[in-house]
Amino acid sequence: MKFGVLILSLSPKECLQLFEWDNVDIIQISLENQLEKLTAETIGLLTDKCKESGKRLAYHAPSADIFLGSRNIGIRKESINQIKKTIRLVGSHSEFITIHTGFTPRFANQNDFERCLSALKFLAKTAENYNTYLAIENVHEETIDQILNYCCLTNISSLRLTLDVAHLLLYSNISLDVALKVLSSKLIDIHLSRPDKDRDMHLPFNNNWNVLKEIMDITISEGYRGFITIEALNINDAKKSMKTINQYKIDI
């Protein structure tokens, strides 16, 4: 099991400092509102730091207003283009790229899912050309099948899953135990942050958060070999959660 960090408020260049952190195996870079600003120089600096430090590097593609299954061809094309551009810019330097599909089963219209799958097949094939994986993050999927079908119905090896724990707790009818056990073979990453009562606020966590022990126990028992990434709004929050993770690692 390997641990990572994703800090949403940092620009890609600001993420260079994270390579100095101990007990972190992978740095994940958020490209939300950053894709157009990302330069070849910054990509090169991040890649060099990755090689120097022995850590790994991953990216989170823009997710705002993404809807791969939209009936509006303009929205669908731009959603595909945002992810395709991410793959072409950083795919060859990235362990994997996390994406959102924008698909919301509760409000789905006819053929939304089929259009989404078609887009995923195209994007996964593009990712293969850059020797990286696409990791689909759960958001509003309510059942385990709705998450699994992304991989099962496309049957493309470069397509994997990222399990966002806060999204699962807030928006699905799936127990954490079932999600971790059933999805384990497809998971490449687990995003870990504590939700507020009814909102995904990316809050830090401590040992009083019972969900953490459950996650660690199940991932260990299932032999999970992917990443567990602390997702935080800022550096201070990330350090609080990382301190808790490190204490837990010592305990086990």
- In tens, the pLDDT along 44-60 reads 999 999 999 999 999 99
Per-residue model confidence (pLDDT) at position 248: 66
Q: Average pLDDT by consecutive 10-residue portion of the chain (252 residues)?
A: 95 97 96 96 97 97 96 97 98 98 91 96 97 97 95 94 97 95 95 93 93 92 94 97 81 48
Q: pLDDT tens digits for 15-48?
A: 999 999 998 999 999 999 999 999 999 999 999 9
| Structural domains in the chain (count) | 1
Report the C-alpha gap between 176 and 127 in whole angstroms.
29
pLDDT number for residue 115: 97
CATH number for the domain harbouring residue 202? 3.20.20.150
Residues 245/3, Cβ–Cβ less than 8 Å: yes
> What is the reported pLDDT for 114?
96
**Which of these, 115, 114, 56, 125, lies nearest to 84 by C-alpha position?**
125
C-alpha distances (whole Å) from 56 to each of 18, 102, 197 are: 11, 27, 33
Q: How far apart are CA 167 and CA 57, in angstroms?
A: 23
Indicate the pTM of the whole model.
0.96
**Which residue range forms the structural domain that includes residue 92?**
2-251
Q: Could you tell me if 1 and 228 are in contact, meaning their C-beta atoms sit under 8 angstroms apart?
A: yes
Residue 197's pLDDT is what?
Answer: 84
